[in-house]
Amino acid sequence: MSRSSEQHPADLAGAYALHALDADDMVIFEAHLAESEEARIEAAELKDIAVALGLAVAPVQPSAAVKANLMAMLSSTPQLPPLPASRATSLAAMDAAATDPGATPAGSPAATATPGTEGAASTGATTTGAPRPVPDVHSGDASSTPRPATASERAQTRWFKRPAQFILSIAAAVALFVGGISLGQSLNSNQFESQQAASLAQINAANDSQRAATTTVDGQEVTLVWSNTLGISALLVDNLPVLPGDQDYQLWYMNNGAATAAGTFDSSGDGTVWRVLDGTMHTGDQVGVTVEPTGGSDQPTGDPIVALQS
């Protein structure tokens, strides 16, 4: 909490609307919400912006089984009673304050996402020790415990995972998939791998993420993902053959006949190998892969095994 106290709690409004707060900051921010009408108005507005981001995502049709399951579960899933009058009143008052009358239909969602005024008081009562996954709604649970937990209770269960663990686990995942990237001696490999993972996550999260797919000359599937605004790209190849010890795969950015070296990698022969390219991608660049002597070459010495147009 100390790291937050230097800052004004109002700074947390963005992360709150994006569900990106950790437990400590959630408590701080909810206390701030309870005190400040201005903060409640801003929170409702920013929540609407988050929803606008959600509405910009392309829909995906669920399989028919999802609806069939749901319809079958309804009869065994009781509905929650409406909020008790006192709580409803206080929440309604809060939300009324948070709603700009007449202008936007300010969307402060109901109980599940509304800052509970009792949140701060009950903090710590629920999750003192072992972190556990957030409880799922099963029809069985619901019949015995009409819940939902307060926002801060949920926050406590939600944010147990530390960033350090996150970096470790993503680094482990990278190790799994990269299957041994060729590294310069000076580079610390863990650092390199987490940078690779972070870059790939950035491409995936970018608003302008794009993708192109083709096959190598030998038929392996190749996918290029990139973001023009970030200027980075990554290449993914399935089942790329193992190379002899004195050779590496090398990536190139190609534009107007000029090739720029963009890093080397090797492959364990099966699974997906991927590599975020070094350097900056420019709009319209081609990305190619050649087989080069270990450590890579300044310019390609052979024909590309694959080339993709971004």
Scan residues 6-45 and list those touching other proteins (CB under 8 A): 6-7, 10-15, 17-22, 25, 44-45
Q: How many of the chain's residues bind other proteins (CB under 8 A)?
A: 111
Q: What's the helix, strand, coil split of the chain in %, to 5?
A: 40, 15, 45
Query: Which one, 283 or 301, has the nearer CB to other proteins?
Result: 283
CB of 216 to other proteins, least distance (A): 17
Q: Is 246 helix (H, G, I), strand (E, B) or coil?
A: coil
Query: Which one, 53 or 242, has the nearer CB to other proteins?
Result: 53
Q: Is the dihedral of CA 123, 125, 128, 134 positive or negative?
A: negative
Residue 289 bridge partners (DSSP)? 251, 306
Q: Which of 97, 117, 160, 297 binds other proteins (CB under 8 A)?
A: 160
Q: Does 1 bind other proteins (CB under 8 A)?
A: no
Q: Which of 31, 41, 120, 167 binds other proteins (CB under 8 A)?
A: 167
CB of 30 to other proteins, least distance (A): 15
Q: What is the distance between the alpha carbons of residues 79 and 2, in angstroms, rounded to a whole number?
A: 41
Site string for other proteins, 195-234 (x = CB under 8 A): --xx-xxx-xxxxxxxx-x---------x-x---xx----
Q: What is the distance between the alpha carbons of residues 50 and 238, in angstroms, rounded to a whole number?
A: 36
Q: Which conformational region is residue 186 in: left (phi greater than 0), alpha (psi within -120 to 50 degrees), or beta? A: alpha
For 41, 51, 102, 117, 294, the CA distances from 106, given in Å and listed in that order, are 9, 11, 9, 20, 59
Q: Can you read off the two tokens belonging to residue 194? A: 């987490």
Residue-wise burial string across 241-251, b where 16 or more C-beta atoms lie within 10 A, e elsewhere: eebeeebbbbb
Q: What is the distance between the alpha carbons of residues 6 and 110, in angstroms, rounded to a whole number?
A: 31
Site for other proteins in 95-124 (CB under 8 A): 95, 99, 103-113
CB of 229 to other proteins, least distance (A): 7
Best CA proximity match to 307, nearest among 267, 268, 251, 258: 251
Site for other proteins in 49-88 (CB under 8 A): 49-63, 65-67, 69-71, 73-74, 77-83
Query: Which one, 224 or 259, has the nearer CB to other proteins?
Result: 224
Q: Which of 142, 183, 243, 291 binds other proteins (CB under 8 A)?
A: 142
Q: What is the distance between the alpha carbons of residues 170 and 166, in angstroms, rounded to a whole number?
A: 6
Query: Which one, 150 or 300, has the nearer CB to other proteins?
Result: 150
Query: Which one, 94 or 261, has the nearer CB to other proteins?
Result: 94
Query: Which one, 99 or 292, has the nearer CB to other proteins?
Result: 99
Q: Which of 121, 137, 217, 242 binds other proteins (CB under 8 A)?
A: 137
Q: Which of 123, 150, 158, 248 binds other proteins (CB under 8 A)?
A: 158
Helix pair 37-55, 23-35: axis angle to 10 deg = 120
Q: Does 177 bind other proteins (CB under 8 A)?
A: yes
Query: Which one, 191 or 301, has the nearer CB to other proteins?
Result: 191
Site for other proteins in 262-291 (CB under 8 A): 272, 274
